[in-house]
């Protein structure tokens, strides 16, 4: 037992996991959440909000012993199921045989982590306490309760795990040499629902992530265990078509019918839902440093909110926790060293997954529907099968290779892009892609590029 105390602001998945990790290292942890406890009050209003979990995330959950239990409540998605405008469908596997990303209930995983946290004698959880202020010199925090009482909490250290809109981060604006940015994407989103069949089965193929790629916008659907799908429509905030331009009911109906004809029979009141809901913004957060005075740190979305197009947000936050876990041991609880090592190790990876996630919007919404893109993916997959030592596809590096840091995946991915641009420029590649000479050329180019572009 170290006897030292931590305040963790934010009882979401990352804050809960962090608390567990700190407690198991012997720290006394207060875990403070602003919203009510979802295990007692339904704050999700019957909506299933799901997120993608993949190998990086599973590794973290397994480490604390809840991986198997969480996996039981999750649905593996082995491929992208791509819905054309004409209703025609195609499949694009995510990786090799058996590789899957998992559709996980955000609320479910959060509750499981909270249950696990509360089993730790070193953790006390608090709900409906909103952070009002933090003293970055002393890590003392002030919270306000529902009844407007103020509570001042002293601790040796504090972490802001309070998400994309982190109050801890916003309170740090203006601190000495703190660089920060919050940048809105052109797209916003709303969530829609596909209900289950009367018998509880799924109305679309269950083990797939469904995509309706329409270039400037797209609809996606992730399966839930109860037979429903949670769908997300990503669409520009302004321009045409956009949330701003689609205000008339008839125009919204025409938009859905023209673009998502095959989904119209499945979606639950898409037009009404579109008319009623306010589109949520997508934004990126980029800050540095991730710690202040070696007393207060930022973690998860609070440090690096990204866009959801790679399904890596929670995975990345869990990886932050895993890194800290290792560093606490490595630096023997010396937080002067741990904070510095943590932010230096994780910042390049946060930047890399932010960049990769931004790029993946184009890949999902535009390229997924492009026949040449699908050929490219097939060539890559085949080459990777022949020469796994030379080529792991970018998607697999990011999603199925927790030992490859995001920053390294980005670097190698850029080399692969340069190589594949040359390959796709070969005349007749559309029909010849399966010929042996393509593999030979790819072998030569890859060997050359990997050698020269370190």
Tokens 């002393």: give the residue: 138
**Residue from the set 147, 148, 177, 198 that interacts with a copy of itself by CB under 8 A:** 177
Residue number, 40 or 177, with CB nearest to a copy of itself? 177
Q: Quick one: which segment of 48-56, 168-176, 409-417, 438-446 binds a copy of itself (CB under 8 A)?
A: 168-176
Q: How far is CA 267 from CA 150, 220, 226, 333, in A?
A: 45, 12, 16, 52
Q: Quick one: which segment of 65-73, 176-184, 192-200, 441-449 binds a copy of itself (CB under 8 A)?
A: 176-184
d(CA 17, CA 282): 25
What token pair was written down for 303? 């440090």
According to DSSP, the residues that pair with 6 across neighbouring strands are: 29, 157
Contact 350, 202 (CB under 8 A): no
- State in angstroms the smallest separation of the CB of 362 from a copy of itself: 20
**Residue from the set 24, 39, 170, 277 that interacts with a copy of itself by CB under 8 A:** 170
Question: HSE (CB half, 13 Å, CA atoms) of 296?
Answer: 24
- Tell me which residues in 179-218 interact with a copy of itself (CB under 8 A): 179-184
Residue number, 76 or 186, with CB nearest to a copy of itself? 186
- State in angstroms the smallest separation of the CB of 305 from a copy of itself: 13
Q: How far is CA 403 from CA 285, 407, 408, in A?
A: 25, 11, 10
Tokens 């920060």: give the residue: 180
Q: Determine, following the binding rule CB under 8 A, whether residue 237 of this chain makes contact with a copy of itself.
A: yes
Q: Determine, following the binding rule CB under 8 A, whether residue 280 of this chain makes contact with a copy of itself.
A: no
Q: Determine, following the binding rule CB under 8 A, whether residue 454 of this chain makes contact with a copy of itself.
A: no
Q: Is 447 helix (H, G, I), strand (E, B) or coil?
A: helix
Q: Determine, following the binding rule CB under 8 A, whether residue 242 of this chain makes contact with a copy of itself.
A: no
What token pair was written down for 36? 């009510």
Residue number, 41 or 181, with CB nearest to a copy of itself? 181
Helices (H) and strands (E) in the chain, counts: 16, 19
**Residue from the set 65, 195, 239, 281 that interacts with a copy of itself by CB under 8 A:** 281
- State in angstroms the smallest separation of the CB of 250 from a copy of itself: 27
Interacting residues with a copy of itself (CB under 8 A): 170, 173-174, 177-184, 237, 281, 283, 286
């Amino acid at each position: 037992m170290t006897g030292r105390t931590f305040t963790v602001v934010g009882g979401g998945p990352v804050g809960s996991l962090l608390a567990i990790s700190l407690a198991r290292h012997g720290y006394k942890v207060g875990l403070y959440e602003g919203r009510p406890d979802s295990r007692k009050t339904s704050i999700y209003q019957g909506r299933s909000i799901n997120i993608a979990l993949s190998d990086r995330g599973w590794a973290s959950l397994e480490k604390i012993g809840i991986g198997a239990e969480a996996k039981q409540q999750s649905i593996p998605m082995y491929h992208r199921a791509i819905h054309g405008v004409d209703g025609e469908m195609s499949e694009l596997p995510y990786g090799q045989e058996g590789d899957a990303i998992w559709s996980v209930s955000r609320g479910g995983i959060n509750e499981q982590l909270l249950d696990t946290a509360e089993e730790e004698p070193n953790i006390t959880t608090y709900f409906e306490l909103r952070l009002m202020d933090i003293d970055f010199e002393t890590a003392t925090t002030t919270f306000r309760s529902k009844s407007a009482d103020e509570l001042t909490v002293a601790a040796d250290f504090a972490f802001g795990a309070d998400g994309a809109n982190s109050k801890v981060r916003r309170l740090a604006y203006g601190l000495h040499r703190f660089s920060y940015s919050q940048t809105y994407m052109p797209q916003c989103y709303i969530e829609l629902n596909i209900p289950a069949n009367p018998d509880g089965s799924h109305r679309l193929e269950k083990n797939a992530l469904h995509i309706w790629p329409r270039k400037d916008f797209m609809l996606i659907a992730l399966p839930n265990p109860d037979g429903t799908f949670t769908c997300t429509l990503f669409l520009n905030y302004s321009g045409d078509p956009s949330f701003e331009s689609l205000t008339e009911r008839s125009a919204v109906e025409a938009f859905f019918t023209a673009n998502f004809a095959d989904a119209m029979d499945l979606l639950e009141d898409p037009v009404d839902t579109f008319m009623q809901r306010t589109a949520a913004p997508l934004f990126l957060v980029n800050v540095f440093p991730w710690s202040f005075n070696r007393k207060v740190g930022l973690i998860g979305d609070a440090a690096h909110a990204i866009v959801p197009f790679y399904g890596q947000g929670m995975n990345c936050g869990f990886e932050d926790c895993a890194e800290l876990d290792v560093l606490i041991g490595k630096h023997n609880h010396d937080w002067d060293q741990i904070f510095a090592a943590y932010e230096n190790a994780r910042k390049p990876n946060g930047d890399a997954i932010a960049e990769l996630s931004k790029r993946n919007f184009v890949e999902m919404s535009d390229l997924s529907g492009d026949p040449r893109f699908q050929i490219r993916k097939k060539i890559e997959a085949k080459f990777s099968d022949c020469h796994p030592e030379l080529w792991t596809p970018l998607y697999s590096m990011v999603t199925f290779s927790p030992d490859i840091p995001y920053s390294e995946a980005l670097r190698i991915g850029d080399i692969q892009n340069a190589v594949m641009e040359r390959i796709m420029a070969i005349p007749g590649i559309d029909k010849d892609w399966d010929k042996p000479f393509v593999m030979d050329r790819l072998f030569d180019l890859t060997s050359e590029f990997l050698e020269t572009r370190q």
